[in-house]
Amino acid sequence: MPPGIRTSIFTTLTQRLGLNDAALAMAKQAFTSANNVRRATGILGLVLTFFFAGSFTTAIQRIYLRAWRRSPGGKVDEYTRGPAWLASILAYMALLGGVRGLLGDGIGYVLFVVLSLAMAAAFWCFSAWYLLLGQVRWRVLIPTGLITGVAISAYALTASVWMPQMVTRNEHQFGFFGVALALVTWFSGAAMCVIVGACAGPVVAESTGRVGAFIRGRNPALLVEGAPPSLAAPARELRLRDAFTSTDEAG
């Protein structure tokens, strides 16, 4: 990967994580010691990274499939769309970092904030469409993209306030493992933003009021032509434990 693209991705990632100055230096030091590098680059570390990336993308896809009551596309889609989506998020971060460096500070920073919100909404709208196997119309996925993009952008903005303190406190208490815990905490919050956007999108698109009619436009259908019908809605009120069961069992 070219150095310029790596720099853009790194800049975007650290800004989203809220890491700066001392917290960023502490995180770098924790992950670049000789022992940690050997652990991370070992065979077991590579295997665990592969399975973690696969389970992460599969979980993201299942969130959208369940929210829209869509049938899974099968193992082929799970194994091919996941890596492709990871590549798209790297491209998104590289583009975002390049735009930030191009616009600079002052008025350019204000313009960057506006553009980053639009880019975040567009990326999550694309993510929903892609992970839903292209079976849901682009237009009705706009609320999902807007809600997710705004929520994650706001969350990333607040992270610059609390994340450095968490990294510093955890590193002093737990060392290298504490920094990893702080990062897991951030990703857990970001996952909640994705879940909220994924669940709110279908509710808005399916509503019978003016907002729902506007979202759907002249075509009342939610799915593209030829897409298989959605699964039936739950016949009873859902409980908390239903979130941990399969779709068939929850119905």
Whether 197 and 124 have beta carbons less than 8 Å apart is answered as yes
- Determine how many CB atoms are found less than 10 A away from the CB of residue 99: 17
Task: Report the share of the chain in percent with pLDDT over 70.
Answer: 75
Higher pLDDT, 167 or 48: 167
pTM: 0.81
pLDDT of residue 45: 57
The CA distance from 109 to 9, in Å, is: 18
The CA distance from 243 to 198, in Å, is 14
The model's confidence at residue 173, banded by pLDDT at 50, 70 and 90, is confident
* Mean model confidence pLDDT for the chain: 80
CA distance 216 to 137: 9
Stretch among 20-34, 168-182, 189-203, 220-234 having the lowest mean pLDDT: 20-34
What CA–CA distance (Å, rounded) separates 194 from 63?
A: 9
Query: Distance (Å, rounded) from C-alpha 193 to C-alpha 151?
Result: 6
As a whole number, mean pLDDT of residues 218-238 equals 82
